[in-house]
Amino acid sequence: MNDSELDAHLAALLRDDSPPAPSADFADRIVALAAHELAQRQWRRRTAVRIGRETLALVAVVFVFAVLARMAPDSVGSGDTLPLASPAMAGLVMLAMWSLVSLSPARR
Amino acid sequence: MLARRAAGEDLAAFAALVRANEASLRRYLRRLSGDESDDLAQEALLAAWRSIGQWRADGSFAGWLRRIGTRRFLDRQRRAGPKQFAELDPQMAAPADAADERLAVNQALSALPPRERAAAVLVYAEGHSHQEAAQILGLPLGTLKSIVARARVTLARKLEGIER
């Protein structure tokens, strides 16, 4: 028996005569596990975005407090316009950051 | 294309890929690992789901799944130790009076070292070309050919033993 005859003979002997039938149960189990993994992946992604946003807001708030703490009382404006470096402006910035974090769609 | 849609986290597309490929993947892994085949197939399919974005369309999706399954199988064999080979699946063995040769060769197949077994299953049992088998196993063509040649010698010796 030469190599190619031997190969053909082995192929005939090793061919699977009773291959497993398609299994809907098996496929359903895999899809359910994949769906679970997908839900976890999406939850992790949303959580990472939320943590990033809230960290940013926290840093901004701390920064604003630091600026407020260093601000001399006489630097606060007294006219009709709102000075850029004033407690009121800092309050507005904080309010904007709070709105961004609390009202963003990613949080819902 | 289903794989591309699945890479975009389309679960329905992945479900269609699973239904199209699970039986052939389980058949291949059953030849390699016997009773562990469904566990391995599950691991391979979920690994494919996690990394489906890495699939390159230059080969078949079924081939890529076999590659992942083979890697998992070889990892398990490595962890289990070099001497532990899978039991022969009794469903695969034909009755002794009908096909002694078939039984003997299948037993010899299950006793081959894991990489030789994978190569022999791909080339002989599944009918892949050497090129395809090399791609699935992630081996250079020449290496695959020598692995198949070694497996052929072992299986042929078993056959000679039967015929004597």
Query: Residue B37's domain is classified under what CATH number?
Result: 1.10.1740.10
Domain CATH number, residue B133: 1.10.10.10
Chain B nearest-CA residue for A17: B92
Residue B52 belongs to domain spanning: 1-87
- One DSSP character per residue, chain B reads -HHHHHHTT-HHHHHHHHHHHHHHHHHHHHHHHGGGHHHHHHHHHHHHHHTGGG--TTS-HHHHHHHHHHHHHHHHHHHH-TT--PPPPGGGSPPTTT-HHHHHHHHHHHTS-HHHHHHHIIIIIS---HHHHHHHHT--HHHHHHHHHHHHHHHHHHHHHHH-
Q: What pLDDT is recorded for position A72? A: 61
Let me know whether B74 and B136 are in one domain: no
Q: Is the pLDDT of residue A94 over 90?
A: no
Q: How far is B164 from chain A (nearest CA, A)?
A: 15
CA dihedral B100, B105, B107, B113 (to 10 degrees): 170
Name the more confident of B39 and B87.
Answer: B39
Co-location of B77 and B97 in the same domain: no
- A16 has a chain B CB within 8 A of its CB: yes
- For the segment A1-30, the average pLDDT, to the nearest whole number, is 85
Distance CA B73, CA B121 (A): 13
Instruction: Supply the pLDDT for residue A75.
Output: 53
Which residue among B87, B111, B132 closes a domain? Answer: B87
Residue B95 has pLDDT above 60, yes or no: no
> Does the pLDDT of residue B99 top 80, yes or no?
no
Interchain contact, B120 vs A14, CB within 8 Å: yes
B101 and B136 part of one domain: yes
Cβ neighbours of residue B100 closer than 8 Å, sequence gap 6 or more: B162
Mean pLDDT taken over chain B: 84
The residue among B58, B87, B116 that closes a domain is B87
Residues B126 and B164 in one domain: yes
* Res A61 pLDDT > 50: yes
The predicted model gives B90-106 an average pLDDT of: 62
Predicted confidence at residue A77, as pLDDT, reads: 54
Radius of gyration of chain B (CA): 17
Among the residue ranges A12-16, B65-69, B106-110, the one predicted with the least confidence is: A12-16
Residue of chain A whose alpha carbon sits nearest to that of B90: A18
Please tell me the predicted confidence (pLDDT) of residue B91: 47
Contact assignment for B124 to A19 by CB distance below 8 Å: no
Interface contact A10-B124, CB threshold 8 A: yes
Among B18, B94, B156, beta carbon nearest to A6: B156
Residue A60 has pLDDT above 70, yes or no: yes
- Average pLDDT estimate for B123-148: 93
Same domain membership, residue B70 and residue B96: no
Q: Is the pLDDT of residue B15 over 90?
A: yes
Q: Flag whether residue A2 sits within 8 Å of chain B, measured between CB atoms.
A: no
Q: Residue holding tokens 């596990």?
A: A33
pLDDT tens digits, B20-46: 999 999 999 998 888 888 999 999 999
* B51 and B120 together in one domain: no
B63 and B36 co-located in one domain: yes
Same domain, B53 and B6: yes
Q: Answer with the residue of higher pLDDT: B43 or A80.
A: B43
Give the Cβ contact number of residue B64 at 10 Å: 23
Coil, strand or helix at A95: helix
Check residue A80 and report its DSSP letter: S
What pLDDT is attached to residue B94?
44
Question: How far does the CA of residue B1 sit from the closest CA of chain A (Å)?
Answer: 18
Domain closes at, from B44, B70, B87 = B87
Percent of chain A with pLDDT over 90: 24
- Report how far apart, in Å, the C-alpha atoms of A50 and of each of A40, A56, A60, A104, B117 are: 15, 10, 15, 9, 50
Counted domains in chain B: 2
3-state secondary structure B50-81: HCHHHCCCCCCHHHHHHHHHHHHHHHHHHHHC
Cβ neighbours around A45 below 10 Å, total: 11
**Do B58 and B77 share a domain, yes or no?**
yes
The two structure tokens encoding residue B74: 């070889």
Q: Tell me: do B47 and B62 sit in the same domain.
A: yes
Assess whether B2 and B83 both reside in one domain. Answer: yes
Three-state DSSP class for A42?
A: helix
Residue B43 sits in the same domain as residue B68: yes
User: B163 and B129 in contact (C-beta within 8 Å)?
Assistant: no
What's the predicted TM-score (pTM) here?
A: 0.73
